[in-house]
Amino acid sequence: MQKTTYFLISFCRLVLLVLLTLVGVALLFGCSSSSGEEPQEASVPRRVNVVIQEIVPQEIRDVVLLPGSAEPWLSVDLAAETAGRVEKLSVREGDHVRVGQVIAQIDVTALGAGMARARSAFELFEDQLRRRERLFLEQIIHEEELDQIRSEKVQAREALRQAEIEYDRGLLRAPSPGRVNTKLVEVGEFVDRGQVVIELVNIDKIKVQVQVPEMDVRFLEVGQPVLVMVDAFQGQEFQGVIDFIAFRGDPATKTFRTQVVMDNPEGKIRPGMIARVLFLRRTIPDALAIPLPSLIDRGGERLVYVEEDGLARARQVEIGVIERDRIQIINGLHPGDRLIVAGHREVDEGTAVVVR
């Protein structure tokens, strides 16, 4: 009896131990499973803040910007008209001069002496002619003697005229108003006839020479206004006008020399400065134009995004002319479309958007 009771107690203990072991294993695996898994949350669609601009027809200008070089309105190399010593220079570099102003004297002392001798000789023949005419009237001399003195007076007058011309050639005068850009000789130097003494420039107006491609020159005409930008004056625009278009193009470059003239009353634009000229080829009155930064280039495809019912929609577009920060859209957009102009690089087709 005691053995049976002992056996039952041992069996119950064994069963209890097995049950406890199984419960422990179950609890262990349950905790491991729950600790390795995060709680699932509901998926929330991504929404991007955007700014839109409604597409409306507007005017856009088809323009071309071409480089050029500024030149003086007038540039004159004043050369000596007679050989001799430079006796006087009346100007310095940078001086303003007026038309007809004497700026240099060359050998005028000797030329002046020659002119004085010629004038004295002419006056002598004038006096002799008057006396001979009285003698002829009194029939004291023959007509042949009177004719001879008349001929000598004519020769003296011509000699005086030549002497005055030579003297005037020694006075170097400004042919136009302007500034002395370069002085090439000094007082006391001997110069030959034809030697350049002074370089004179007029910059009250400036010429800009531009080489215009043959595909663009057909849009231009003399008298057409243009805008000129000078690299030395960033952010400033100057008004100009087309003054000349070459009738014959450069066979090597297929360009046509086009001259633009602009006022320069303050003289701040100087010859040699780099300029850029904005030529108007044509005006498109009802173009669909968008901000240039809103255009996206992906692998050669040009895309924009529009907002439709709270979603971003991609549109493939065909572009036209560019005017500064605007670009014409030929195909792909329509009036009234809501173009995404900010946030467009953060969206894809179908992205939910919030219009700000």
- 261: closest CA among 72, 13, 98, 95? 72
Question: Based on the domain organization, do 294 and 331 belong to the same domain?
Answer: yes
Contact (Cβ atoms closer than 8 angstroms) between residue 356 and residue 50 = yes
Question: Based on the domain organization, do 265 and 293 belong to the same domain?
Answer: no
Question: If DSSP codes are grouped into helix, strand and coil, which group holds residue 40?
Answer: coil
Q: Point out which residues pair with 354 in neighbouring strands.
A: 49
Domain holding 218: CATH number? 2.40.30.170
Question: Based on the domain organization, do 334 and 302 belong to the same domain?
Answer: yes
199 in a structural domain: no
Please identify, among 282, 305, 340, the residue that sits at the C-terminal boundary of a domain.
Answer: 282
84 in a structural domain: no
What Rg value do the Cα atoms of the chain yield, rounded? 48
Domain holding 129: CATH number? 1.10.287.470
Contact (Cβ atoms closer than 8 angstroms) between residue 209 and residue 259 = yes
The residue range of the domain holding 303 is 50-61+286-355
pLDDT at 221: 96
Q: Give Cα 150 distance to the centre of its chain.
A: 68
102 in a structural domain: no
191 in a structural domain: no
Question: Based on the domain organization, do 268 and 293 belong to the same domain?
Answer: no
Question: If DSSP codes are grouped into helix, strand and coil, which group holds residue 238?
Answer: strand
- Count of beta carbons in the 10 Å neighbourhood of residue 336: 8
Question: Based on the domain organization, do 265 and 332 belong to the same domain?
Answer: no
pLDDT at 16: 47
Contact (Cβ atoms closer than 8 angstroms) between residue 19 and residue 250 = no
Please identify, among 259, 282, 305, the residue that sits at the C-terminal boundary of a domain.
Answer: 282
pLDDT at 32: 45
pLDDT at 44: 60
117 in a structural domain: yes
178 in a structural domain: no
pLDDT at 341: 95
Question: Based on the domain organization, do 208 and 276 belong to the same domain?
Answer: yes
Domain holding 332: CATH number? 2.40.420.20
How many folded domains does the chain comprise? 3
pLDDT at 285: 93
What amino acid is encoded at 240 in this protein? Answer: G
pLDDT at 168: 78
Question: Based on the domain organization, do 305 and 340 belong to the same domain?
Answer: yes
Each residue's pLDDT expressed in tens, for the chain with a length of 356 residues: 444 444 444 544 544 444 445 445 444 444 444 444 444 555 566 799 999 999 999 999 999 999 999 999 999 999 998 888 888 898 999 999 999 999 988 887 777 777 788 787 778 878 777 877 777 777 777 777 777 878 877 887 887 788 777 877 888 899 999 999 999 999 989 999 999 999 999 999 999 999 999 999 999 999 999 999 999 999 999 999 999 999 999 999 999 999 999 999 889 999 999 999 999 999 999 999 999 999 999 888 999 999 999 999 999 999 999 988 999 999 999 999 999 999 999 999 999 999 98
Please identify, among 150, 168, 186, the residue that sits at the C-terminal boundary of a domain.
Answer: 168
149 in a structural domain: yes
Question: Based on the domain organization, do 265 and 290 belong to the same domain?
Answer: no
Q: Which residues contact 116 (CB under 8 A, 6 or more apart)?
A: none
331 in a structural domain: yes
